[in-house]
């Protein structure tokens, strides 16, 4: 069994997509073992995205995540990290395939509905940070 950190971003929560996204995760056979809907603070969001702190989009990204509550989740299942990344789809809306979450629900890179950890190391780091 593998665990991964998934976050429904503020645009996903605001648009009422949380139920649909949780449903997709559950229908895939994954289990949500922890979840909380809350407003993170700047320190937490900056730490979460610290790998991007020198990128030109960093400030905009952090401010976007601070726009409203997020749904933070720990998701469990075989190969959950890789499979959830596939289900989430590419961050570039032109590359995100229909059938993926971003392919179906996002049309911009700035507001792309959901986050998923990309490795075991980032999962452990992010789960420690958010829970
Ligand atoms: O989220 P993912 O791991 O797929 O992509 P990332 O490259 O780690 O970037 C993290 C997040 O930063 C993306 O999901 C976008 O919300 C944002 N981003 C952006 O706004 N503009 C970019 N050029 C790249 C990323
Ligand atoms: Mg990433």
Q: How many whole angstroms separate alpha carbon 80 and alpha carbon 94? A: 25
- Domains of the chain and CATH, by start: 2-130 (3.30.70.141)
Ligand 1, pocket residues at CB < 6 Å: 57, 61, 91, 109-110, 112, 115, 118
Q: Is the pTM of this model over 0.95?
A: yes
Write down the pLDDT at residue 9: 98
Query: Is-contact 22 124, C-beta < 8 A?
Result: no
Q: What are phi and psi of 70, to 5 degrees?
A: -120, 160
Q: What is the dihedral of CA 15, 77, 31, 20, to 10 degrees?
A: 20
Residue 118 is predicted with a pLDDT of 98
Query: Is residue 107 a contact partner of residue 93, using CB atoms and an 8 Å limit?
Result: yes
Residues of the chain with pLDDT under 50: none
So what's the pLDDT on residue 125? 98
């Amino acid at each position: 069994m593998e665990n991964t950190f998934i976050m429904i971003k503020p645009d996903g929560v605001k648009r009422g997509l949380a139920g649909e996204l949780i449903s997709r995760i559950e229908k895939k056979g994954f289990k949500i073992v922890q979840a909380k809907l809350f407003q993170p603070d700047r320190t937490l969001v900056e730490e979460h995205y610290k790998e991007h702190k020198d990128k030109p989009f960093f400030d905009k990204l952090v401010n976007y995540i601070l726009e409203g509550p997020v749904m933070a989740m720990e998701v469990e299942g075989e190969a959950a990290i890789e499979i959830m990344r596939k289900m989430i789809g590419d961050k570039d809306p032109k590359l995100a395939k229909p059938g993926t979450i971003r392919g179906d629900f996002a049309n911009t890179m700035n507001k792309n509905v959901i986050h998923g950890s990309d490795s075991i190391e980032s999962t452990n780091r992010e789960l420690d940070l958010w829970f």
